[in-house]
Chains A and B, each alone.
Chain A
Amino acid sequence: MTRRVAITGLGVVTPAGNDVPAMWSRLLEGRGCGAPITNFDARGFSTRIAAEVRNADTLPLPPDRKLLKFGNRSHRFALVAAEEAMRDAGIAPTPADRHRWGCVVGTGMMTVSFDELASVQREAAPAGELDAGKVLAEATANDPMAFCRSQSTAGVSLLMRRFGIAGYASSVHTACASGGQAIGTAMRVIRRGAADRVLAGGFDSMVSPVGLAGFCLLSAVSPDNDTPERASRPFDATRNGFLLGEGAGFVVLEEWQSAVRRGARIYAELAGDGNSLSSYRITDSHPSGDGPIQAMQRALRDAGALAADVDYLNAHGTSTPMNDRSEAAAAKVVFGERVGAVAVSSTKSVMGHLIAAAGAVEAVVCALAIRESTLPINANLRDIDPDCAHLNIVRDAPRQQRVRVALSNSLGFGGSNSCLAFRHPEETAAIVAKEGA
């Protein structure tokens, strides 16, 4: 019999709140988190706003100071969010089963911090061109800790060390699809029996000079510096770019039967993973929705669900002109005549785009929507884009509604598309009972 996967623990650090209850209430309130950037002096940038994690200095970090030296800002978000998820699940690896625990994360684009980069520039590239000989005497370039923090495996290493995980370990990066792909990979690892439990999620912080610069150069971020709380307005006719966010989201995934046996609180079944490559252009999505269509259809097929079972779509909904149009077109193809019956919202309207963490945080949102039978708002929607008008968008107020199946899209630069399918635990229990009979 196929091994199913239960979600039993949730944790987040987001601009909308530094734990799950705080984030959820802000999402229901539907108030945007965009504000002038405080992480650094962004006054000269064409976009000077972002959705930052507030009070990052007072996050409840683990007490191990030596461990923290191995992490940067996004790793601290990861540690705090993962801690909440593990506590929430009420289970931790033991010496006897730590080999059966895995850890799969979506990581941001790892590199040294801007201050460290600036130090290398001052010493080794004073005129703008690197002089390799001068690198030898530069402090950052000789600091093994700066190196460790810059590594793509810094996050997964910290998390395994912190929680005593010693099984399957992987880090993935498919730009904005990273978090979704990490959780999908983790689900498959449990299904095939390579692990029984996996701590899975994503973390990122690109609210830094180089991170913001990359998006400004591409004109991908909203330039609405005077109305930051309304800058992210997915599916609105006047949308003009995404709002850069930061943070982390984690879930504890467990093999279904073992979760049931220990009486765990099961938020939802992580029922399907759909994954496709658009192979169209690097930054553009196909206007027809080609790419996301296949991801959504595969997620449904993988979950053994029909389009008619879906009650909620947590859209990728970045608020860029192209993404939202393409995604709306995809929904029309996937749901067909029933497209108006599927409630849709993009929670990026409130918390911005958390890049490599987005898919993971939005998986948490889907689990909460199922558990609470409540759909969060697509904030800031005033005039719907005629190309998106067929969508049944949750606007103005949260909606009370039981969700049988929820989908979460994460569509990345480079054309990687991830769609995760979540099923109400009662629906899954009924299916399992039927299978057993």
Chain B
Amino acid sequence: MRIVITGAGAICGVGASPAAIVDAALEGRSAIAEIASFDASGWPRRHAAEVTEYNAAKLVGDRKLLKLIRRSDVFGIYAADQAIGAAGIPAFRDALDGDAAVAFSEATGCYVGSGGGAFNVNYDYFPLMAETHGDMEGFGRELASTVNPMWLLRTLPNNVLCHVGIRHAIKGPNACITNHTTSGMLAVIEGAEAIRDGEAERVVTAGHDAPIEPQTILYYHRCGLVAERELRPFDAARDGSVLGEGAGALVLESEASAAARGARILGEYLGGGDAAEGEGLLALRDDGDGPARAIEAALADAKLAPADVGLIVAHGNGTRLSDASEAAALTRVFGTSMPPVTAFKWATGHPLAASGILDVTLGLEAARRRVAPGVTTLQHLDPACAGVAVAAQSRATRGDIVLVVCRGFGGTNAAVLMRALPG
């Protein structure tokens, strides 16, 4: 069964659509800069890729909703709206009569990858804690008069799933995946499987995260994962990752569903794979066994050979071990006939749970233009990454099939293959 892609949406520090972000990458622009959202002067790490012109009410078009959601949710809802709108779904559904509209809603699924685990949501309790000075009884007594009664709802990791569902009358199969960095990509894979299974005719998939907050930056630094300034995938001088924020979204559907609307086809979902190394939360094998198996699983799922792939979007998060082991995985699978490799985190930063699906939207956009955008921060390829066909300059792709790789904590890895139609 063919699964087509009819809508894409994205937002991050360098742009507010897949096209704008790929344009920025082609121009060599990066969102990585000194942190503006809090005073990080004097911090050992001071850089992030923030969405600086943040107007939440404008992004979601509903001021009242902002009481019920947080920053990460705003990105997710924005990207999903963009993808759903681009796919022409709202106008089509609004024109259906009663029963047909219900059937359409029930055959539409929603799969979201969510960051969750934000620290600052709990800071809403700080005024109460300051007032009660560690007196638990006082904390309980004063609770209702101090804390927003809707606090728990604003905090739910599955908010984007819920609100995208309500906004677009989606009533089909669904999931909210909270699996760190692979969350968004797993949402794409599970959403596609729901179509293959016949559970849904179309699915909205999204991933979102907003991890740029003091406690998170410090933790990533203490774990040795944050670069001092730049994110330099596969470069000999790379010194870590830089946190980003944002969201990506895709509409996937059966050919019949797309044809019924006369929807514009951006590409085709060909397959996905997932494989963990499972050696601990922060542990990574240096031989790239996990990402290699995820890529092999995606190729097998898509019934493709490595030679069919025309563009690779690497995870390329800029840390020493992740990039070197990813390079090992890519050379294990592709050997000496590797198609052009790119990576986007040098421009977008690393938006954690959103990163896999954001890269999927960017990989699709780049492959539609038949271009592998250059990795601008690359100066000298690390000998430990030898064989990875990455370059500072933009190049033509080798074909219309793009592979996107995603890696996360717990040694988790996922990979997705798509065919891009020329745009």
Give me the interface of A with B, judged by CB distance under 8 Å: 40-46, 48, 70, 98-99, 103, 107, 109-112, 117-118, 120-122, 125-130, 132-133, 135-136, 141-144, 146-148, 150-154, 156-158, 160-161, 164-175, 181, 185, 188, 192, 194, 209-210, 213-218, 275-283, 291, 294, 298, 302, 412-416
Contacts and interface: CB of A to CB of B under 8 A. Distances in A.
Contacts of B214: 130, 132, 135, 141
B91 interface: no
B152 interface: yes
Given A170-B186, A209-B136, A148 B281 contact: yes
Nearest to B134: A118
7 contacts: A44-B136, A44-B140, A99-B293, A132-B214, A209-B140, A217-B147, A291-B171
A365 to B, nearest CB: 23
Nearest to B68: A282
Contact of A44 (B116, B139, B174): B139
Contacts of A214: 151-152, 155
A153 B140 CA distance: 30
A109 to B, nearest CB: 6
Contacts of A279: 105, 162, 165-166, 169-171
Contacts of A133: 39, 42
B215 interface: yes
In this complex, which of B144, B156, B196 has the most chain A Cβ atoms within 10 angstroms of its Cβ?
B156
The 7 A-B residue pairs whose C-beta atoms are closest, nearest first, are A44-B140, A160-B278, A214-B152, A128-B127, A414-B162, A157-B410, A45-B140
A293 to B, nearest CB: 10
B219 A217 contact: no
B180 A152 contact: yes
A109 B144 contact: no
A157 B130 contact: no
A147 B408 CA distance: 15
A126 B130 contact: yes
A150 B140 contact: no
A330 to B, nearest CB: 14
B155 A109 contact: yes
Nearest to B297: A194
Contacts of B121: 111
Given A217-B144, A413-B153, A128 B174 contact: no
Contacts of B178: 107, 110, 152-153, 171-173
Given A147-B223, A174-B158, A174-B176, A40 B153 contact: no
Interface in B104-125: 105-106, 109-110, 114-123, 125
B158 A175 contact: yes
A281 B170 CA distance: 13
Nearest to B35: A132
Nearest to A105: B179
A319 B223 CA distance: 44
Contact of A217 (B114, B152, B197): B152
B274 A156 contact: no
B276 A121 contact: no
B126 A125 contact: yes
Given A156-B410, A280-B166, A413-B153, A210 B136 contact: no
Nearest to A211: B152
Interface string B310-327: 000000000000000000
B12 to A, nearest CB: 21
B372 interface: no
A147 B131 CA distance: 26
B128 to A, nearest CB: 8
Contacts of A112: 119, 122
A275 B174 contact: yes
A413 B274 contact: no
A216 B278 CA distance: 38
Nearest to B118: A111
Contacts of A147: 219, 222-223
A414 to B, nearest CB: 4
Given A133-B39, A215-B152, 20 more contacts: A43-B137, A44-B139, A46-B143, A121-B130, A130-B126, A146-B219, A152-B116, A152-B117, A161-B280, A166-B276, A167-B275, A167-B276, A169-B278, A171-B177, A213-B125, A213-B139, A277-B161, A414-B158, A415-B162, A415-B165
